[in-house]
Structure 1
Amino acid sequence: MTLNLLPGAGIKSETEIYPSDMMFVQENSLVAIASPFNPDPQVARELNVVVTAYSSTVMETDDTPFITASGKMVREGIIANNLLPFGTKVKIPSLYGDKIFIVEDRMAERKGDYHFDIWFPSYWEALNFGAKDVIVKVLES
Structure 2
Amino acid sequence: PEPQPVRRIKVVVTGYSSTPWETDGDPYLTAAGTWVKDGIVANNYLAMGTKIRIPEIFGDKIFVVEDRMSWTKGNYHIDIWFPSYWEALNFGAKRTYIEILEG
Tell me what 2:65 maps to: 103
Aligned pair count?
A: 103
The structure that has the greater radius of gyration is 1
Partners of 1:42 and 1:129 in 2: how far apart?
Answer: 27
Pairing partner for 1:126 from 88, 91, 101 = 88
SS in 1 for 2:100: strand
Cα shift at 1:85: 0.4
Unaligned runs of 5+ in 2: none
TM-score normalized by structure 2?
0.99
Cα shift at 1:63: 2.0
Partners of 1:96 and 1:103 in 2: how far apart?
Answer: 16
Give the % identical residues: 61
Is the counterpart of residue 115 in structure 1 residue 56 in structure 2? Answer: no
Pairing partner for 1:63 from 19, 25, 43 = 25
Which AA in structure 1 matches 2:84? S
Which AA in structure 1 matches 2:60? D
SS in 1 for 2:22: coil
Which AA in structure 2 matches 1:66? Y
Partners of 1:116 and 1:97 in 2: how far apart?
Answer: 16
Cα shift at 1:92: 0.3
CA deviation vs aligned residue, 1:88-137 (integer Å, no higher than 9, x gap): 00000000000000000001001110000000000000000000000000
Higher RCO, 1 or 2 (CA under 8 Å, sep at least 6)? 2
Unaligned runs of 5+ in 1: 1-38
Is the counterpart of residue 52 in structure 1 residue 34 in structure 2? Answer: no
Q: Which of structure 1's runs of 4+ aligned residues deviate more than 6 A?
A: none
